[in-house]
Chain A
């Protein structure tokens, strides 16, 4: 994947990651404010993953962007000769 493709991927997924993280954060907020069976259940089966998955994904994206900026990631199309 080239740097441009990585950027396009980031542009496509980052807004969704923000929404997922926001839902996960709200789940944490609810369970912290009111630790009842339903809120704990929501956090255990969904909330914790909604927090963890965007966190891991954003780190992966940042590392990918940094690696491609330093030329560690293979370009899909080599630059043309002048």
Chain B
């Protein structure tokens, strides 16, 4: 099934190719007569109109692609985690969530980013840091989140749900869970192999 990101990707490729073609035409027009209306028009189209559309489309596509498990798995260091996600025998939290489609196609992003716009922004900042560390080899295995995974990642979906509220420990430790004083993972781990 094609998604909006697929169409945006095709449109973006078309726009980028057109923009490059227009840049060549603009350069030729500029050499002939720099300030003629045709030359100025070509420059506005090639340097502003198409790039502005391309800028937003590319961001839209990149934002969607960054959330996919396939993208996270494109760094080799993630291979064991992605393999576990798809292992039908695995009982890790990540595999159970992913294989039951509780986190959809964006399983890594669903648990490893905060909620709302700030959460997305923080995830992108962290992603850029991870890519730098990956390519410069400045990382240690097994990978670990500094400070551990916050309960907010779990409670964002589970808190208030009927099955969650029905469990006595969740009610008893509600405050501690809300403040990360007791981690979900202490009872429900492991998240990954």
Which residues does A use to contact B, with CB under 8 Å? Answer: 7, 10-11, 14-15, 17-18, 21-22, 24-26, 28-29, 31-33, 35-38, 40-41, 43-45, 47-48, 51-52, 54-55, 57-59, 62, 65
Decide if A40 touches B17 in the complex (CB within 8 Å).
no
Q: Cβ of B23 < 8 Å from any Cβ of A?
A: yes
**B contacts with A: majority SS:** helix
CA distance A15 to B27 in the complex (A): 7
Besides A21-B47, A38-B135, A41-B135, 12 other A-B contacts (C-beta < 8 A) = A18-B47, A25-B54, A32-B12, A32-B58, A35-B62, A36-B74, A47-B58, A52-B51, A54-B51, A55-B48, A58-B43, A62-B44
Among A14, A28, A48, contact of B16 (Cβ-Cβ < 8 Å): A28
Q: Is the interface of A mostly helix, strand, loop or mixed?
A: helix
Give A51 to B9 CA distance when docked, in angstroms: 17
What are 25 A-B contacts with C-beta separation under 8 Å? A10-B35, A15-B27, A18-B43, A18-B46, A18-B47, A21-B47, A25-B16, A25-B20, A25-B51, A28-B54, A31-B62, A32-B12, A35-B62, A35-B65, A35-B66, A35-B71, A37-B75, A40-B65, A40-B66, A41-B132, A44-B62, A47-B58, A48-B55, A58-B48, A65-B35
Contact call A24/B51, Cβ cutoff below 8 A: yes
Which one of B30, B55, B134 lies within 8 Å of A51 (CB-CB)? Answer: B55
Known A22-B20, A28-B12: A40·B48 in contact at CB below 8 Å: no
A21, A29, A59: the one within 8 Å of B13 (CB): A29
Chain B positions near chain A (C-beta within 8 angstroms): 9, 12-13, 16-17, 19-20, 23, 26-27, 30, 34-35, 40, 43-44, 46-48, 51-52, 54-55, 57-59, 61-62, 65-66, 71, 74-75, 124, 128, 131-132, 134-135
Q: Is the CB of B66 within 8 A of A33?
A: no
**Known A15-B30, A37-B75: A21·B62 in contact at CB below 8 Å:** no
